[in-house]
Every structure is written in C-alpha cells, then in structure tokens.
Amino acid sequence: MPEPTSDPAPDPAPELTSDRATGLAPESVLERMPGRAPQVSGLHHVTFVVTQLDPAIEWFARVLGAQHVTRFDHHDETGVLFGVILELTGFAGMVELRVATAEYPLRPGYDPVTFEVADDEALAGWLRHVERVGAAHSPIKQRRTGRSLEIRTPDDTIIRLFTAPAGGFDEVPFQETHVDH
C-alpha cells in the first residue's frame, strides 16, 4: 500500500505591518500576497430589517427622501411581499427593506451603514430636516475623522450621516481626543 502523501506546507503569508502615517500595509507587501483579491466596483445594496414594510417605506420616504421601486418587490412562493427596494438620491446603490424573520432578525441599536454628506453645512441641513420631520436623532457629534448625526428608524436601527473628510481619507487627521462617543 503506498504511503499517504501530503502537500508541502504553503509559504507563510507576508507580515502585514502598516505604515505609521497611513495605517496601510506597504505596497511591496501587498504585491507579494498570494491570491490578491480582485477590486470591487461599488456598493450594490444595503439591507435594513424591519417589523413592517408599509410604515418603513413611509419613514424612509419622509426622512431620507427614498423612492420605492415596485418592480423589484420581493415575494415568497405564496405571493407574500417580504422585501422592497428603495432608491436614495445621491446614493449609487439600493436600499433593501426586509421583514424580520428567524433568518433576518431585528437588531435594535445596530448601525449597518454610514452615509456620507459633503460637509458641516450639509450635515446641519440634515439636522434641520430630521427635526422638521420628527425623526429620532442624536445631536451632531465630533468624531475621529469628521462629524456625524445618528438617525434612529422606528425599529431602532441607527443610520449615521458622516461628513466627507476634506481632501479625502488620505489626508484626514485621525484624532483620538476631543471626540464624542
């Protein structure tokens, strides 16, 4: 009977030490990584689990200006509507609202997405808007790389709006002090 053979042990992955200034692994390390991942092309959709679709569709329309795209409604095999797709102006992806089930449970206090806004003026405009429409929200908070506003859905999911860093993420200072948590 032949002896079992074993494949040689794979080469260990290169150590991913980061550049202190950028926090990124040096390009030379990334180039040596076996099986480097292909590039993603964008964000397809974000899913929010909700208790009921109609009130959620109304809330997302009133608070975020979302438009329901009925041709993408999701029905189960018996014809029951369990999910819908919304479009948000300025967001390249789609937003899915999906009824909570055992497979898709509600997660109160969860913050699945942070949307970017142009600057402090845009964030202040959002604050005025959510106050006008009566949405539960936080005050504007100073964060490590900008400022944010948290909006709570009726199912207690947090949607965060965050200012875009001036000059992009490559240039933004990361501050650990004087931030709101």
The token pair at 21 is 């200034």
Residue 126 CA: distances (Å) to CA of 30, 91, 138: 39, 15, 12
Q: What residues does 49 pair with on adjacent strands?
A: 98
Domains present along the chain, CATH in parentheses? 42-103 (3.30.720.120), 107-181 (3.10.180.10)
pLDDT for residue 38 is more than 90: no
pLDDT at 37: 83
* Residue 85 φ/ψ, nearest 5 degrees: -115, 135
For 129, which DSSP code?
Answer: H
* Mean pLDDT computed over 38-42: 84
pLDDT digits (tens, 9 = 90+) for 73-102: 999 999 999 999 999 999 999 999 999 999
pTM of the entire predicted model: 0.75
pLDDT digits (tens, 9 = 90+) for 143-166: 888 899 999 999 999 999 999 887
Rounded Cα distance, 151 and 149, in Å: 7
Q: Which of the four pLDDT bands, split at 50, 70 and 90, describes residue 39? A: confident
